[in-house]
Amino acid sequence: MTHIVFIAVQGHDRLVEVDLPENASIEIVHATVKATGIEIDQEFILFHDEDDEPIEWQGHKRPHRIKHGAKLHLARCRKIDVTIHYLEQTKHHSFAPGARVRRVKTWAVDHFKLAKRDAAEHVLQVCGGTDRPPTDTPLHKLVKHGHCELCFDLVPDIRVEG
Protein backbone atom coordinates (compact mmCIF):
# COMPACT_ATOMS: atom_id res chain seq x y z
CA MET A 1 0.00 0.00 0.00
CA THR A 2 1.22 3.53 -0.74
CA HIS A 3 0.43 6.97 0.68
CA ILE A 4 0.38 10.29 -1.11
CA VAL A 5 2.20 12.92 0.96
CA PHE A 6 3.18 16.52 0.28
CA ILE A 7 6.77 17.60 0.87
CA ALA A 8 8.06 21.15 1.09
CA VAL A 9 11.82 21.39 0.60
CA GLN A 10 13.88 24.24 2.08
CA GLY A 11 15.25 26.36 -0.76
CA HIS A 12 12.49 25.41 -3.23
CA ASP A 13 9.18 27.14 -3.80
CA ARG A 14 7.04 24.26 -4.94
CA LEU A 15 5.27 21.64 -2.88
CA VAL A 16 6.12 18.14 -4.09
CA GLU A 17 3.40 15.51 -4.17
CA VAL A 18 4.90 12.03 -3.85
CA ASP A 19 3.57 8.51 -3.50
CA LEU A 20 5.50 6.65 -0.81
CA PRO A 21 5.32 2.96 -0.01
CA GLU A 22 4.12 2.12 3.48
CA ASN A 23 7.57 0.86 4.48
CA ALA A 24 9.52 3.82 3.04
CA SER A 25 12.86 4.62 4.65
CA ILE A 26 14.42 8.08 4.78
CA GLU A 27 16.56 7.01 1.79
CA ILE A 28 13.39 6.27 -0.20
CA VAL A 29 11.96 9.68 0.76
CA HIS A 30 15.17 11.37 -0.45
CA ALA A 31 15.24 9.34 -3.69
CA THR A 32 11.57 10.08 -4.36
CA VAL A 33 12.12 13.83 -3.92
CA LYS A 34 15.24 13.71 -6.13
CA ALA A 35 13.18 11.94 -8.83
CA THR A 36 10.99 15.07 -9.00
CA GLY A 37 14.04 17.11 -10.01
CA ILE A 38 14.89 18.65 -6.64
CA GLU A 39 18.46 18.08 -5.51
CA ILE A 40 18.86 17.26 -1.83
CA ASP A 41 21.55 15.57 0.22
CA GLN A 42 21.80 13.62 3.45
CA GLU A 43 21.94 16.84 5.52
CA PHE A 44 18.22 17.44 4.99
CA ILE A 45 16.11 16.61 8.05
CA LEU A 46 12.50 15.46 7.75
CA PHE A 47 9.76 17.08 9.87
CA HIS A 48 6.06 16.33 10.05
CA ASP A 49 4.08 19.56 9.54
CA GLU A 50 4.79 21.95 12.46
CA ASP A 51 6.28 19.35 14.83
CA ASP A 52 9.16 20.67 16.92
CA GLU A 53 11.26 17.53 16.58
CA PRO A 54 12.28 15.75 13.36
CA ILE A 55 10.87 12.39 12.42
CA GLU A 56 12.99 9.62 13.86
CA TRP A 57 13.46 6.63 11.58
CA GLN A 58 13.75 3.17 13.06
CA GLY A 59 15.43 0.81 10.64
CA HIS A 60 13.63 0.81 7.30
CA LYS A 61 10.14 1.46 8.65
CA ARG A 62 8.37 4.75 8.31
CA PRO A 63 7.05 6.20 11.58
CA HIS A 64 3.37 5.39 12.02
CA ARG A 65 2.27 9.02 12.15
CA ILE A 66 2.96 9.76 8.48
CA LYS A 67 -0.45 9.29 6.98
CA HIS A 68 -2.01 9.69 3.56
CA GLY A 69 -2.17 13.43 2.78
CA ALA A 70 0.46 14.39 5.37
CA LYS A 71 2.52 17.53 4.90
CA LEU A 72 6.25 17.03 5.47
CA HIS A 73 9.20 19.42 5.41
CA LEU A 74 12.75 18.58 4.34
CA ALA A 75 14.97 21.23 5.86
CA ARG A 76 18.64 21.83 6.53
CA CYS A 77 17.84 23.60 9.79
CA ARG A 78 16.90 21.61 12.87
CA LYS A 79 15.65 24.88 14.39
CA ILE A 80 15.21 28.38 13.04
CA ASP A 81 16.28 31.13 15.44
CA VAL A 82 13.78 33.98 15.23
CA THR A 83 14.31 37.52 16.50
CA ILE A 84 11.22 39.70 16.87
CA HIS A 85 11.25 43.45 17.48
CA TYR A 86 8.27 45.31 18.90
CA LEU A 87 8.68 48.97 19.76
CA GLU A 88 11.88 49.12 21.85
CA GLN A 89 11.71 45.44 22.89
CA THR A 90 13.35 42.40 21.32
CA LYS A 91 12.56 38.73 21.91
CA HIS A 92 14.25 35.57 20.63
CA HIS A 93 12.86 32.08 20.19
CA SER A 94 13.65 28.96 18.16
CA PHE A 95 11.01 27.27 16.02
CA ALA A 96 10.87 24.15 13.89
CA PRO A 97 11.38 24.72 10.15
CA GLY A 98 7.75 23.82 9.41
CA ALA A 99 6.34 26.27 11.95
CA ARG A 100 4.20 28.83 10.22
CA VAL A 101 4.35 32.62 10.52
CA ARG A 102 1.02 32.60 12.45
CA ARG A 103 2.65 30.47 15.17
CA VAL A 104 5.51 32.97 15.48
CA LYS A 105 3.04 35.86 15.72
CA THR A 106 1.03 34.03 18.39
CA TRP A 107 4.22 33.47 20.37
CA ALA A 108 5.26 37.12 19.96
CA VAL A 109 1.84 38.47 20.97
CA ASP A 110 1.98 36.38 24.13
CA HIS A 111 5.56 37.35 25.03
CA PHE A 112 5.10 41.05 24.29
CA LYS A 113 1.79 40.88 26.22
CA LEU A 114 -0.30 42.60 23.54
CA ALA A 115 -4.00 43.03 24.15
CA LYS A 116 -6.28 41.05 21.80
CA ARG A 117 -7.31 44.18 19.90
CA ASP A 118 -3.70 45.33 19.45
CA ALA A 119 -2.65 41.83 18.36
CA ALA A 120 -5.34 41.81 15.68
CA GLU A 121 -3.99 45.09 14.29
CA HIS A 122 -0.36 43.93 14.03
CA VAL A 123 1.48 41.74 11.52
CA LEU A 124 4.97 40.31 11.18
CA GLN A 125 7.19 42.07 8.67
CA VAL A 126 10.64 40.81 7.66
CA CYS A 127 13.26 43.11 9.22
CA GLY A 128 14.80 45.69 6.91
CA GLY A 129 12.10 45.44 4.27
CA THR A 130 8.40 45.58 3.54
CA ASP A 131 7.71 41.86 3.06
CA ARG A 132 4.82 40.65 5.19
CA PRO A 133 4.64 36.91 4.53
CA PRO A 134 1.25 35.19 4.61
CA THR A 135 0.49 33.60 7.97
CA ASP A 136 0.50 30.07 6.53
CA THR A 137 4.10 30.37 5.25
CA PRO A 138 6.49 27.84 6.84
CA LEU A 139 9.60 29.49 8.26
CA HIS A 140 12.04 27.44 6.15
CA LYS A 141 10.59 29.18 3.06
CA LEU A 142 11.82 32.53 4.41
CA VAL A 143 15.40 31.75 5.48
CA LYS A 144 18.26 32.60 3.18
CA HIS A 145 20.37 29.74 1.82
CA GLY A 146 22.89 28.53 4.38
CA HIS A 147 21.22 30.36 7.29
CA CYS A 148 18.91 29.21 10.05
CA GLU A 149 17.75 32.53 11.41
CA LEU A 150 15.03 35.08 10.70
CA CYS A 151 14.18 38.54 11.94
CA PHE A 152 10.71 40.09 12.11
CA ASP A 153 9.30 43.42 13.22
CA LEU A 154 5.83 43.28 14.77
CA VAL A 155 4.24 46.30 13.10
CA PRO A 156 0.77 47.83 12.82
CA ASP A 157 -1.18 46.65 9.81
CA ILE A 158 -2.47 49.35 7.49
CA ARG A 159 -5.68 50.70 8.93
CA VAL A 160 -8.48 52.07 6.83
CA GLU A 161 -10.38 54.76 8.69
CA GLY A 162 -13.85 55.35 7.46
Q: Is the pLDDT assigned to residue 92 strictly greater than 90? A: yes
The residue ranges of every structural domain in the chain are: 2-75, 80-156
pTM for the full predicted model: 0.87
- pLDDT of 159 strictly over 70: no
Query: Would the pLDDT of 65 be above 90?
Result: no
User: For the chain, where are the alpha helices, taking DSSP H only?
Assistant: 26-35, 101-111, 116-120
Q: Percentage of residues in the chain with pLDDT exceeding 90?
A: 60
Strand partners, 93: 82
Return phi, psi of residue 134, to 5°.
Answer: -55, 150
The mean per-residue pLDDT over the stretch 69-81 comes to 92
Mean pLDDT (whole number) for 54-74:
76
Please report, for residues 8, 12, 30, the alpha-carbon distance to residue 16 in angstroms, rounded to integers and kept in the order given: 6, 10, 12
For domain 80-156, the CATH architecture is: Roll (3.10)
Phi-psi region of 106 (alpha: psi -120 to 50; beta: other; left: phi over 0): alpha
Residues 123-142, mean pLDDT to the nearest whole number: 95
CATH architecture of 2-75: Roll (3.10)
Same fold for the domain at 2-75 and the one at 80-156? yes
User: Rounded mean pLDDT of 14-40?
Assistant: 85
Give the integer Cα–Cα distance in Å for 129 and 43.
30
pLDDT at 98 over 70: yes
Quick check: 98 and 139 in contact, CB under 8 A? yes
